Structure 1
Amino acid sequence: MDESKEPTVLDYVKALLMPWKGKPPALSAKQPTADQSLVEPKEDLSTSPDITTLEMKVEEKGEPVVFPSSAEERLKLPIGWRTLLAFVLAVIGQSFLEPPRQQVSVALIFYGLAVVALIFAVISKEWLLAEYADHTATPMAVTVNRNPILLSLPLLLLAFIFFSGNRFTTLNLTLWLAGTISLVAGFYLPSRTRLSLKSKIRSFFLAPQVIIRITPWSILVLLAIGLVVFFRFYRLSEVPGEMFSDHAEKLMDVADVLQGQTSIFFPRNTGREAIQMYLTALIAIVAGTKLSFMSLKIGTALAGVLTLPFIYFSGREIGGNRVGLLAFVLAGVAYWANVIARIGLRFPLYPLFAAPTLYFLVKGLKYRSRNDFIWAGIFLGLGLHGYSPARLVPMVVVAAVIIYLIHRQSEGNRREAVIALILLAITSLAVFLPLLRYALSDPEMFAYRALTRLGETETVYPAPVGIVFLNNLWKSMIMFFYKNGNIWVHSIPNRPALDVISAALFFLGSTLVVIRYIRQRHWLDLFLLVSIPLLMMPSILSLAFPEENPSLNRSGGAIIPVFILAAVGLDAVIRSIERRYSNGYQRIIPLGVTALLIFFISSANYDLVFRQFDRQFMAGAWNTSQIGAVIRGFSEAQGNPDTAYVVPYPHWVDTRLVGINAGFPLKDYALWPDQFETTLSETRAKLFVINPRDEDAVHKLQELYPTGWLYFYDVELEGKDFLLYFVPPAGTEDGTVQP
């Protein structure tokens, strides 16, 4: 090394990897020291020319040491084989947990060996997970704008009064929005860059020009967006291919909205929050998909996509831009996240609002930013209008603040955190106000579904409640590696929630974060780990029906920390390669390994979503779309949709779904056998759809209509066949009219 040249930071940041002989010269005054921020999100160096620069605090026995920076010297470094070995061992262990074999004892052996390898990686200073440095932030401002706040109080009070009757009206919506905006305006701090932004806008209009800068990072981001959009929308009309009864309930609620019934809470089918109903109604009109399964699926797929940017932002706060982008991709292609986003029910609304709530909460605590707490409160309040598991997100918020307070000794920090929590609560309460009014007027209906799972409203606990809780907790915490439950409509029963590689990366990332917490005791690491069971509590607390736990839908909020930790694990694997190959053309090696791993992960999840889940879902769902198509064809041929009927049979098709699929969403095609005689006065052609096992219905129809024709409709899927009994119009009994 040329001693005449001033040492760069690059010479110091590698010291934990391999100490070098000789005493280094002193650091330049312009260079960052160990107590300066290394995790400033706006200057994340994972995208800079040397991605290893400034990644770790460097101190070896009180003195920094020099690390070789030339390509020739770096080639002498061994690859991070211990970290790679831990990853490979975890992948092998997880492969033994894949159905159908699931050899738990063998998997535990390999996972144990992976832990040993990680410990040796840490001891040998091979561990490459960047540590935190506290961000230097100015104290949070305590000033408020009193006039908007004073204005908001009567507006919100009047809105609360006029929200009676479980209806949104022009008046109460105007009062609520005006009051909420006034409240936020009173607490929100103006941006310091507002004037410069105005200047930029003015300059643009004076001399319009658009500069597009294409960098390797922007190309990676575009590729990542394309990949996750593909996974969310590819074959959306086919996967899943059938509705079940819950979809009928949702579309009936949407029909109510389209007919002018603007409810705050929809009490049908044990009660539902409002956001999905209004979103689907909007899509039905704008996209022209009307009252259909596709309208539901477009809305939930969009929710799944919009969750991902906030997973990226949160991952960036944990480990920089690269961790954020990796979390974005892993969550975007994941079977778990894709299935709950495609099913057409409210499931993805839980992570959709939990993700920005947690992101702004962490950012607010980290940088002592009041505006971020306000945004967290807004998204928390909106989430409560989305999907009932979001009612436990306030518990996660409180837990985050408590963990922050425990790790912060400064009285000023603690006081600011408490004030910020109060501000967040006030904001979320204002946004939640319409549903709060309903909850107070009809608490039994509002809490009914939660109480049936948490309490003994419908059944008694199968065991002492403490034992049930601990058992549920254990099953939920191992679902990533073992079994994600047995609910076929939104999961592949009894398989891990993660694919083999993602599960191994999640294990690796979780272990590394635990080690980092032990070494540094940073509050964010502990919160990241604790948030997983907290966000899964809606599933864990199914104490009266423990067979419903674990469930991917009620655990959906845990998607956020789980895939951030998996990204941390993948980032550690990449770093273990970069410690040797990160200069010049050598960067192709870690980049190629990353691309290969993402390819394998994407392929595995493609198979899980578009083959395995699709196949088992269609085997379990009733083929109401085929029956609906038959009735639609009959209606077009005969010019009449009112003389087709579906004869109900236990545990068979939902006749409301037949009407939706036939293009008549408000028509229930059910006609029970004891109602057959009511059709005798009808002279037009008639079509009866019958379950093949319903011999009594067939015999009764043959007695009533001896000139009718019975057809067996053969379906490719086993057990999905059905019978058609066609009755020709009156006066054509000679058989000249064909069905």
Structure 2
Amino acid sequence: MSRDEASTPIRCRPAASVTRVRASWSLLLAVVCLALAVFAQGRFDQRLLNASSYLACGAAAVLFVVAFGGIAQEREPSSAEASGQPTATPRVWGVLLAFLAVSLLGCLDFGGNEYRKVGLILWLGGLLLALGWLYLNERLSCPAAVQPRPQARRKWFTPTLVLLLAAVAVGAWLRLYQLDIIPADIGWDLPYNYTDVLSILRGQHNIFFTANMGREGLFFYWVAFLTRFGELSHFLLKLSSALIGIATIPVLYWTGRELFSPAVGLAAAWLLAVNHWHIVLSRPGFRVILLPLFVLLFLWSVARALRRGRWFDFGLAGVAIGLGMQTYTPFFFAPVALAIALVLYLLTERRACWRQWVGGLVLMALVALVTFAPLGRYALENRAAYLKRIGLQLELVQGERNTPRVTTPLLLENVRTSLLMFNVYGDSNARFNVPGFRHLGQISALLLVPGLAYALWRWRKGSNALLLAFFLVLIAPMTLAMLPHEMPNVFRAAGTIGPALLLCALTLTAVYEQLRILGSTYPAWDLRLRLQAASAQREGAVEWLIGRRGALALAGVAIVGLFLLAEFRDTRQFYFHDFKNVLPDSQNVSIAREFARQIEAYGDRSSVYVKGWPYWFDGRALRTYLQMAPEEQERVFIDLIDGQWPLSDVRQRALFILHPEDVAGLSRLRQEFPHVVSIVHYLPGGVPGYVTVFVER
């Protein structure tokens, strides 16, 4: 090195210097955004919905767009993927339509609302053959496009996979811990689920289950499958939904990776793992837990299909639609969201892709129709039974013709209430939420609005329009079904969980990406730390070389980790303390379950009788806890009358269960039997719950 070179001071390149300044200012604005968001959320939590709250929230969104709106996180199709689209020949269409026709032929065997073996083989076989044909046609037409990259084959156990497995493990713990205890009460719907699964196990394979105003049956067949590993019970119903909730975590990762990047998918998966709304839906045993899963499967498959243009992906999207429409009614809005997104794409640079999408979209619709065909046939033949639940809700919403319940101002108020459910107030039903508590956790609530603003700003780029359409349209099922001044509903809006958390993840990953960009302007090793120690006998020193590039990357990881840790702590407090204390019937103590425990401890079920009392307990719930067969005699009675059941049925001894206010019933038993022992059982808080009366002649 010459003397001139040695004496020349080292300066940053101009481009690096500009990038460093911009990134630093963006991160400073991020701090301001966070402060404004915390201020706004604090006021929202206090129900202070005034101008200052909305202005602070809006300012945080605008500043975030100013700071991070230029960061591209969308996944764009590569040239290799765009060139790897198979040609749709008449032969391809002919074979495909033949397989789908075989599948439809099988549906002719599904009369009388029942799956039959031959029809099931033809229906499923035709669908599988159609998908297999599409996949093989792609491999034969463009083998290079469908082969994985050699590097991808070599490196599969990556840090991303480790972090994803950790998210699944944390999510599994939150969904399985104390599952046998929380929630304790089975509620009014699950006994119907229990009975329907029991009918499947007894050979009655219904397509649509008409009890309780009608319900789709996909979840019940999932529970019936799990009975191969354990007996049908309330716990198995809860385990069935919990396993689906756990499976949704990696599906959200795949969706985020498909729409944006592995980092976005990973952040969203962690947010879902610790999301209290999804945990509440995962643990009770309701079929609604299928809704977030199939919304994400559909969003993943259709985003993949639109990006790659391959017919196999469109076929998978069709299967997701057809199965999704057999999960929970609000899923029907997911295809509407896709239609809106496709219209929005006409206003972006992706409008040029419409010509290559048309054939795939037609294929998707055909596969969806065939997949839905068994339930679709039932709906056409039994429209009144199929639409009974929807019709009842429409009657409640519309009211009488002369005095409609919902007017335009009230509808706008319902829209406002629906949009505020994430950050302000949520479901008021204590069975599914701490009454009125927002649907997102503290951290997710802070991240949602900036992420939404980011996606709106970049709606023309990548799949942002698709994500926004799914997020907004899937709120509509709840909004349209709301009665005047009704609070949000955690069930009807469950389809928005995945899209909402993807928006939250965009906020986190944008900040992380900006930190990475700032770090890239520094050398890998640019700082030297020296630790020196000395004593009377010896002295020594240790030196470390570190770099601001690595330090900033670690800072980004630490920030994301702290946010997720705070969300985990918030969720654990919410579910295992706050929510548990409001669960029915009193602080998660179920009257019907306590009855079942007393009856099981007594031993002789044939000599146990429960006296009914208005709004006290659900007899169907008691039957479910006791796992009673449908033909077993009901143990509930209304009055104690001489010579009639149950008094006439007692030969030696019996156990009666009474309401604590039923003084007349207890007095009548004391008159009838010479030996009577009564015990009052108390609920948490010292409230009398029920009385067990042991009698003997």
Q: Report the TM-score range of the alignment, normalised by the length of the smaller protein.
A: 0.7 to 0.9
SS of equivalent to 1:373: helix
Q: Indicate yes or no: 2:64 matched with 1:118.
A: yes
Query: Match for residue 325 of structure 1?
Result: 266
SS of equivalent to 2:691: strand
How far apart, CA to CA, are the structure 1 residues paired with 2:248 and 2:461?
Answer: 26
Query: Match for residue 102 of structure 1?
Result: 47
How far apart, CA to CA, are the structure 2 residues paired with 1:707 and 1:538?
Answer: 58
Count of aligned positions: 641
Query: Match for residue 164 of structure 2?
Result: 221
Amino-acid identity (%) = 25
1:444 to 377, 384, 396: 384
How far apart, CA to CA, are the structure 1 residues paired with 2:179 and 2:23?
Answer: 51
2:645 to 656, 673, 678: 678
Contact 1:381–1:432 (CA<8 Å) still a contact in 2? yes
- With normalisation by structure 2, the TM-score equals 0.85
Q: Indicate yes or no: 2:595 matched with 1:652.
A: no
Gaps of 5+ in 2: 1-11, 521-548
Q: Indicate yes or no: 2:221 matched with 1:278.
A: yes
Query: Match for residue 578 of structure 1?
Result: 516
Query: Match for residue 193 of structure 2?
Result: 250
Change (3 A) 1:549 1:440: farther
SS of equivalent to 1:727: strand
Query: Match for residue 355 of structure 2?
Result: 415
Compute the displacement of 1:684 (Å).
3.3
Q: Indicate yes or no: 2:454 matched with 1:512.
A: yes
1:642 to 606, 609, 618: 606
How far apart, CA to CA, are the structure 2 residues paired with 1:494 and 1:690?
Answer: 34
Change (3 A) 1:641 1:132: closer
Query: Match for residue 735 of structure 1?
Result: none
Contact 1:408–1:414 (CA<8 Å) still a contact in 2? no
SS of equivalent to 2:127: helix
Contact 1:350–1:386 (CA<8 Å) still a contact in 2? yes
Contact 2:640–2:665 (CA<8 Å) still a contact in 1? no
Opposite residue 651 of structure 1, the aligned amino acid is Y
> Per-residue displacement from partner, 1:525-563 (whole Å, max 9, x unpaired)?
2232232221122211215x3455521111111111100
Greater CA deviation, 421-430 or 613-622? 613-622
Compute the displacement of 1:199 (Å).
12
SS of equivalent to 1:344: coil
Change (3 A) 1:675 1:531: farther
Q: Indicate yes or no: 2:481 matched with 1:535.
A: no
Contact 1:83–1:572 (CA<8 Å) still a contact in 2? no
Q: Indicate yes or no: 2:491 matched with 1:524.
A: no
Query: Match for residue 560 of structure 1?
Result: 498
- Aligned counterparts, 1:471-490, within 5 A: 471-490=413-432
Query: Match for residue 54 of structure 1?
Result: none
Opposite residue 312 of structure 1, the aligned amino acid is Y
SS of equivalent to 1:80: helix
Query: Match for residue 28 of structure 1?
Result: none
RMSD (Å), alpha carbons: 3.1
Change (3 A) 1:118 1:627: same
How far apart, CA to CA, are the structure 2 residues paired with 1:131 and 1:211?
Answer: 26
Opposite residue 692 of structure 1, the aligned amino acid is P
SS of equivalent to 1:263: coil
2:125 to 171, 178, 182: 178
Opposite residue 353 of structure 1, the aligned amino acid is F
> Per-residue displacement from partner, 1:190-217 (whole Å, max 9, x unpaired)?
35399899999xxxxxxxxx98875433
Gaps of 5+ in 1: 1-18, 22-65, 201-209, 731-739
SS of equivalent to 1:560: helix
SS of equivalent to 2:637: coil
How far apart, CA to CA, are the structure 2 residues paired with 1:425 and 1:387?
Answer: 19
Opposite residue 713 of structure 1, the aligned amino acid is H
How far apart, CA to CA, are the structure 1 residues paired with 2:505 and 2:621?
Answer: 41
Opposite residue 695 of structure 2, the aligned amino acid is V
Q: Indicate yes or no: 2:597 matched with 1:629.
A: yes
1:613 to 560, 567, 579: 579
Contact 1:499–1:601 (CA<8 Å) still a contact in 2? yes
1:141 to 87, 93, 118: 87
How far apart, CA to CA, are the structure 2 residues paired with 1:537 and 1:477?
Answer: 10
How far apart, CA to CA, are the structure 2 residues paired with 1:415 and 1:671?
Answer: 68
Q: Greater strand share, 1 or 2?
A: 2
1:430 to 366, 370, 384: 370
Query: Match for residue 33 of structure 1?
Result: none
Change (3 A) 1:257 1:548: farther
Query: Match for residue 526 of structure 2?
Result: none
Change (3 A) 1:377 1:81: same
> Per-residue displacement from partner, 1:510-532 (whole Å, max 9, x unpaired)?
11222223xxx236222322322
Compute the displacement of 1:309 (Å).
2.1
Compute the displacement of 1:162 (Å).
1.5
Change (3 A) 1:197 1:642: farther
- Aligned counterparts, 1:197-346, within 5 A: 215-286=158-229, 288=230, 290-346=231-287
Compute the displacement of 1:184 (Å).
3.2
Opposite residue 67 of structure 1, the aligned amino acid is A
How far apart, CA to CA, are the structure 2 residues paired with 1:312 and 1:170?
Answer: 36
How far apart, CA to CA, are the structure 1 residues paired with 2:626 and 2:453?
Answer: 53
Change (3 A) 1:149 1:617: same
How far apart, CA to CA, are the structure 1 residues paired with 2:237 and 2:171?
Answer: 19
> Per-residue displacement from partner, 1:442-470 (whole Å, max 9, x unpaired)?
11111111122234599447534444433
How far apart, CA to CA, are the structure 2 residues paired with 1:303 and 1:688?
Answer: 40
How far apart, CA to CA, are the structure 2 residues paired with 1:489 and 1:363?
Answer: 37
Contact 1:81–1:576 (CA<8 Å) still a contact in 2? no
Change (3 A) 1:653 1:409: closer
Compute the displacement of 1:435 (Å).
0.3
2:325 to 361, 381, 384: 384
Query: Match for residue 733 of structure 1?
Result: none
Change (3 A) 1:272 1:675: farther
> Per-residue displacement from partner, 1:150-200 (whole Å, max 9, x unpaired)?
543553343232211001111221121223234434544535399899999
Greater CA deviation, 672-681 or 547-556? 672-681
